[in-house]
Structure 1
């Protein structure tokens, strides 16, 4: 696959998303219902005019006029086309709108549950079949699977065809059809359960008891949490400044989404474990941007806080040493309670940012207003408080955002942008250079959800500020 640029592929969630439209319909339904109540009340009040004492007495003087007035009042209040009937029409419309939203939300939930169940069953079937594939001797295919386990679903479905493809052709195929990876990973719990199905029941139960694993793992989150529990974690160790001999960074105030990503890239160029806290403005007007790079090491449980253990913990919904270190660094930076904060993270850093934004213990201390993620799986965080705006950038050919196994929730305060910027390699698609291009595409877009997010970032002073800027660097590792 050659380097190219297909622009923005899709924008979901945010002010123009489906859930926002559902909310708008519900709001309109409440207005209709309230208006109907008011019209009905007025209808019965106005109907009382016909029994007004003065009007009734005047009927003796002009019976015909009284009858005409009485008929007009009754027609305008409780007659066909009157206020009472208009009230009923409004309330019926309100009920219909509420029912439609309820049905549509229910259909969305049923679809999601069906996909979850199907992915689990496919994963379990694949897990049960893998030993047979190994015994059959699949040669080069198995070598490729060992290096790239995300190819397993393709191998299971097309064992004959896949053997004819080179490794690069397989990678290219996945970049063109990332949904295959997403569904395979979403069935990760079933995959492990299927592998365990090959064991005799007694051996299986003994192994599960020895490792402390649950007997079933309906979701990838379940198996990730179980596997993370097999390894010891420690407290974070936070030191001020970067690596010895490293020049202090001085990041500029970002003027755009692309600038936010480029600043994050500069932080990422530092030593392992480093994060930057950028202060914009002074005194009560100060705002803080926290730059959070991603995975440094694919080891597990070592001194690196940003390792594979942290990835497992995040997918499993567990707190990491990296997250604890971020909180400590923000405390050391002197971020006062109530000061506006934006968390900007790449890969594992974006996962951590989303998790922190959903943690009441963290948001009670820090006033998180924005989260910007690049190449980060965040669907494992089901809910972000309404007052926090999340913008997630996902490159179509980047497999990492798919490792949560499902699409990000469509919520009014969560906007997900998928763009197409292939580089010819999996690593290049995940790199911050690609996400800089994604940020530029967002800056140029007039999509309503993106326009709302960009406007809010400017209003909150995180983008486009001319206030003075200072940068503090902290290094987070696992304590010995």
Structure 2
């Protein structure tokens, strides 16, 4: 029996989806669909009105239309004076155009009024759902900040509490599964991840000095980038170490794998493709770039970036994550994976005005966020999709659309120590892992009957499928925007491999 997830949607154009409230999203979608249908009906009535006017204009000499009561011969009259003349004639009947035209106008007005009512009701449901979404996210963020505050003031108690919660989760989870499973140490403490990581970041930045620690505890209630500041401090050491051991030169070359990825037409396709890069054995340290010819003759690009591969000479090593998470723009841009993606995009010929969409899993998503934050002077990045990526504090440009997929107990996406911003351009689909054996939610392919780490792409895909199945205008709006960016015929898919060395 595989694991299952249920999804919440936060941000976007105002709609949130929750397992208990998904009816609202569905009804809002149905009302919008009904409004579109009624609008088309109203347009048909207006068209009928115009067509009737044309027909009437074609019969200007008709006595009936001129207001005269007359008869018209329907056959030959008897010329010999015999027979019944009335039997050879019939009263000419004509359509009451004025009545019909007035009726068409009235039905068109009624259709327009009904359309407006349906749209208003849909908007009100959307607004109500948006308020729920914002309250849910505000409560989550406040809990994290308060947990950070308490742990910063009394770090021993905070981290002892975390260890106790982790141990208890392992014991309870293992008893339920009837076998020891240490994964519950991570998944069972998911509600504590962001707050504890923020506290850890604050401790690294401020050290043991009690005055600065207390000051940071107070400012931490309004700031959320403690982890990123700490990452910047660590990166000074980790980058130097890596450069000494491996080197700092990035070389990028095109490769030709036996099996690659398919065409990208939707956000769901992007998740499948970034997963297929791994499943199909495309060489480590590699990305895919797809070229699309749009209907207007312009060129659009899709960049697919897998996550950390753990190889020492790869741009996507474990070291690189720290640089990408830095609060310092220079450190982020200097990260090996960011430089590798930039060079591949340059070599493939992406021009400054070409629309670009990007997708990445884990470190790949952080790279996409860095490109959308720090490389917008070189590329016209319009939409990024991230899966399991801690990017809440990256300064992504406000006009770029961001679709983030996360799972509540995966830990990695919580490494930023804060929930993602919630805005019309930034939508987060957050999956909630269901208890093992649950029959609710979307099944996670290949997860098995024991609790496993939910950072895997199968969890990300199931999370998005569950949200998509629930409906909702916010998700539909992001799908529509993504299609508009690509919106063309696939010309080619190229693959680019990066390596780190001394020369």
- Normalising by the residue count of structure 1, what TM-score does the alignment of the two structures yield? 0.62
Q: Is the 8 A contact 1:350 1:376 kept in 2?
A: yes
Residue of structure 2 in register with 1:239 after alignment: 252
- Pick the aligned partner of 2:307 from 294, 298, 317: 294
Matched, 1:229 2:269: no
Query: What is the CA–CA distance in structure 1 between the aligned matches of 2:483 and 2:389, rounded to whole Å?
Result: 23
2:390 touches 2:412 (CA, 8 Å); kept in 1? yes
Higher helix share: 1
User: Partner residue of 2:479?
Assistant: 454
1:155 aligned onto 2:163:
yes
Taking the aligned partners of 2:308 and 2:422, their CA distance within structure 1 comes to 27
Show the 5 A alignment for 1:185-200. Answer: 185-192=197-204, 196=208
Q: 2:347 aligns with which of 321, 327, 332?
A: 332
Match of 1:264 in 2: 274
Once the 2 structures are TM-superposed, how far is the Cα of residue 260 of structure 1 from its aligned partner? 1.2
Indicate if the aligned counterparts of 1:346 and 1:375 stay in contact, CA closer than 8 A.
yes
Alpha carbons of structure 1 residues 158 and 111: separation in structure 2 relative to 1, 3 Å: closer
* Contact 2:170–2:185 under 8 Å retained in 1: no
User: d(CA) in 2 for partners of 1:179 and 1:111?
Assistant: 9
Match of 1:254 in 2: 264
Count matched residues: 344
Aligned CA RMSD, in angstroms, stands at 3.8
| 2:4 alignment partner, SS class | coil
Q: Secondary structure at the match of 2:499?
A: strand
Q: Which piece of structure 1 moves more, 228-237 or 187-196?
A: 187-196
Report the CA distance shift for 1:365/1:194 in structure 2 as closer, same or farther (over 3 A): closer
Higher Rg of the two aligned structures: 2
Q: Of 392, 397, 412, which aligns to 1:400?
A: 412
* C-alpha distance in 1 between matches for 2:229 and 2:414: 17
Tell me which of 461, 466, 483 is aligned to 1:436. 461
Which structure has more relative contact order (CA 8 Å, sep 6+)? It is 2
Structure 1 unaligned residues grouped into runs of 5+: 19-104, 131-151, 199-216
Tell me which of 364, 384, 407 is aligned to 2:377.
364
Q: Is the 8 A contact 2:169 2:189 kept in 1?
A: no
From 9, 12, 34, the equivalent of 1:11 is: 9
Matches of 1:363 and 1:222, distance apart in 2: 22
Give the TM-score, by structure 2 length.
0.59
Q: CA deviation at 1:123?
A: 4.9
Q: Does structure 1 retain, via aligned residues, the 8 Å contact 2:407–2:455? A: yes
Name the residue aligned to 1:220. 227
Q: CA 1:443/1:114 → structure 2, altered by over 3 Å: closer, same or farther? A: closer
| Superposition deviation, residue 219 in structure 1 | 1.8
Secondary structure of residue in 2 paired with 1:228? helix
1:257 Cα deviation (Å)?
Answer: 2.3
After superposition, what is the alpha-carbon deviation per residue over 1:58-110, rounded to whole angstroms, capped at 9, x for unaligned? xxxxxxxxxxxxxxxxxxxxxxxxxxxxxxxxxxxxxxxxxxxxxxx9xx999
Residue 408 of structure 1 and its aligned partner are, at CA, apart by: 0.4
Q: Which runs of 5+ in 2 are unaligned?
A: 17-133, 211-223, 433-442
Q: Secondary structure at the match of 1:270?
A: coil
- Bigger shift: residues 187-196 or 271-280: 187-196
Displacement after TM superposition at 1:181 (Å)? 2.0
